[in-house]
Amino acid sequence: MRGAFATLSVMGKPQLHELVDRLPESETGAAARYLEFLLAHDESPVDPEMLKRIDAARAQQGTGIPHSEILREFGA
């Protein structure tokens, strides 16, 4: 599935129109709301400094906590 997402990230308007044409009628409302959200979303993009900080934080990720330990801790 990763390849499909990579393709979507470089998609132009003609390809987007093709996806909309293939969309089931039952999903057009959700798609319209999402597109309206994207058009109304006026936040500035993430600046390069923030992206560097995000990358640094991801590089320092620990091993995490096993699911069984969380369940034990919370009595489940």
Q: Tell me what pLDDT residue 30 has.
A: 94
What local confidence, expressed as pLDDT, does residue 8 receive? 58
Whole-model pTM? Answer: 0.42
Residue 66 token pair: 């096993």
Q: Taking the alpha carbons of 43, 46, 50, 53 in that order, is the dihedral positive or negative?
A: positive
Does residue 27 surpass a pLDDT of 90?
yes
pLDDT tens string 31-71: 999 988 888 876 667 788 988 998 998 888 888 889 999 99
For residue 72, the model assigns a pLDDT of: 92
